[in-house]
Homo-oligomer: A and B are copies of this chain.
């Protein structure tokens, strides 16, 4: 791309060198003077190059010594093992809601100093100032904004921005196909209400996002938990086995990137197979791509929706984790359930308010979104590496740790028999909130697990809190 500014070209060159291992963690970057002479650029361009690589998390500046390749800390903990391909069982509601609620309520009531139980990064990692400014501009441009009824399926400017954004996942869609929702939560709720009736069986990942378990329960749908790998996601083999054993699976819900809580990312080829398998079995595929843009690469992998030729895939996503936790902006591409989902959205909540849509559309359209995502991924990578190292240092032997390629979660298997609910309570008592494994399944298979938010910036206090948590785990056995 010859039209790129010089410093970006140069940064790309060095980034490749680091990716290829030519420059390794801890190596010293050539001095600015050397860079300037070697590449025939000015000193200030050389400096700009290093600063850019620093902002992306590739370099770190050491006082009086120059720039060094950031050392990515490798935890000494074992990775989370593959699941056994036990046959799942379609657990009708077995009380998950009360268990989850009691944990949520206890967590909300207690005074919390370190919230490691959440699902988004901390506020400073989001472009609050730019979104604030965009909101003020929108209010200036449309002074009667609060006086006018809202469009039913989304503001055209926002739908257009979403359609453009989806191109990076290989999804080609017209803006009018996008139905804007109150976050990914409402997107999922609409998709499930559209295709399922009370009593229907829905195959899901195991462990799965607890909000999905609650949603299924509240709709009277039965969750069939399918073994899921921490590396490649939902097991297609186990799914196939389940379909042979249980009649009438109505839908499959899966998270393609950085599955919550395991952190797994399903390879593109398996996504294609899953789309074809669902099509062949007349089972609806609901894709929940909440974390796609946090996947540690310049573009996400192609979405399952990008392989869909018949409208059998319903694609849901949200800006909650990637742009603004305070904006309740999600969307659904409804495939062949358009008129039903549109009707359900209308009867359930009407259209979304317009202001956040306008501010988000402005930001996404300006190109700032791509820059923001690059920085966010880089910062999350550093936070994640730091936290993995802190956990490796402070937790007892036998703890196993996920190695997600992006995102805001780490998944821990504690030594066998460690009750995560006691860990949760004891940690809460010290002002530390975590998400215990029991929240992520109707079974009790993950009761010895924890999900930990790694979207907080490293601080000495947080380091201490993690050491404290490690001791709590050691004592809980």
Whole-angstrom distance between the Cβ of A200 and the nearest chain B Cβ: 12
Question: When chains A and B are docked, how far (Å) is the Cα of A148 from the Cα of B115?
Answer: 13
Min Cβ gap A170→B in Å is 28
> Which of these, B126, B146, B185, contacts A347 with CB under 8 Å?
B185
> Contact between B135 and A355 (Cβ–Cβ < 8 Å)?
yes
**Are A327 and B353 in contact, with the CB atoms below 8 A?**
yes
Structural contact, A145 and B214, CB atoms closer than 8 A: no
Query: In chain A between 163 and 204, which residues have their CB closer than 8 angstroms to a CB of chain B?
Result: 181-183, 185-186, 189, 193, 198
**Cβ B129 vs Cβ A143 within 8 A:** yes
Q: Is the CB of A132 within 8 A of B145?
A: yes
Task: Map CB proximity to B onto A320-362 as digits: 1 under 8 Å, 0 otherwise.
Answer: 0000111110000000000100011011111111111001000
The distance in angstroms between the C-alpha atoms of A346 and B213, with both chains bound, is: 12
Q: Answer whether residue A215 sits at the interface, using C-beta atoms and an 8 A cutoff.
A: yes
CA–CA, A294 to B327, complex, Å? 31
If A97-B343, A139-B135 touch, whether A146 touches B348 (CB-CB below 8 Å) is: no
- Please, how many angstroms separate the alpha-carbon atoms of A124 and B135 in the complex? 22
Say whether A111 faces chain B, with CB atoms less than 8 Å apart. no
Q: List 17 A-B contacts (CB under 8 A).
A: A124-B147, A126-B147, A128-B144, A135-B139, A146-B324, A146-B359, A147-B326, A148-B326, A149-B326, A214-B343, A218-B344, A218-B348, A326-B353, A328-B349, A328-B353, A349-B349, A355-B356
Contact check, B325 vs A211: say whether CB atoms are below 8 A apart. no
The answer to whether residues A325 and B147 also contact, given A218-B343, A343-B214, A349-B189 and a CB cut-off of 8 A, is yes
Chain A 214-226: CB-based contact to B (< 8 A → 1; otherwise 0): 1100100000000
Whether the pair A327, B118 counts as a contact (CB closer than 8 A) is no
A215 touches B347 (CB 8 A): yes
Q: Is there contact, CB below 8 Å, between B325 and A149?
A: yes
Contact B347 A214 (CB under 8 A): yes
Interface: A120 (CB within 8 A)? yes
A61-117 contacts to B, CB under 8 A, are 97, 101, 108
Known contacts A120-B149, A126-B146, A148-B326; 9 additional CB pairs below 8 A are: A123-B147, A135-B146, A189-B347, A189-B349, A214-B347, A218-B343, A326-B353, A326-B354, A349-B349
Cα distance A344–B136 when bound, in Å? 33
Chain B, Cβ-Cβ closest to A135: B139
A132 surroundings in chain B (CB, below 8 A): 139, 143, 145-146
User: Residue of B at shortest CB range from A129?
Assistant: B143
A: contact size bracket: 35 or more
Contacting B at CB under 8 A, from A208-240, are: 211, 214-215, 218
Taking CB as reference atom, which chain B residue is nearest A219?
Answer: B347
Which residue of B is nearest A151, CB measured?
B108
- Does A150 make an interface contact (CB < 8 A)? yes
A231 to B374, CA, bound (A): 63
> Does A35 lie at the interface of the complex (its beta carbon under 8 Å from any beta carbon of B)?
no
Shortest CB distance A326–B (Å): 4
CB distance from A193 to the nearest CB of B (A): 8
A131 at the A/B interface (Cβ < 8 Å)? yes
A327 CB contacts on chain B under 8 angstroms? 146, 353
CA distance A324 to B348 in the complex (A): 19
Q: Please give, as numbers and ranges, the residues of chain B lying within 8 Å of A139 by CB-CB distance.
A: 132, 135-136
Flag if A146 contacts B214 (CB, 8 Å): no
Is the CB–CB distance between A343 and B118 below 8 Å? no
Alpha-carbon separation in the docked complex, A146 to B125 (Å)? 11
**Chain B nearest Cβ from A61, distance in angstroms:** 26
Residue of B nearest to A214 (CB): B347
CB nearest neighbor in B for A133: B139
| Contacting pair B328 A350 (CB below 8 A) | yes
Q: Interface code A372-388, partner B: CB below 8 Å = 1, 0 otherwise?
A: 00000000000000000
- Are A146 and B120 in contact (CB-based, < 8 A)? no
Residues of B within 8 A of A118 (CB): 149
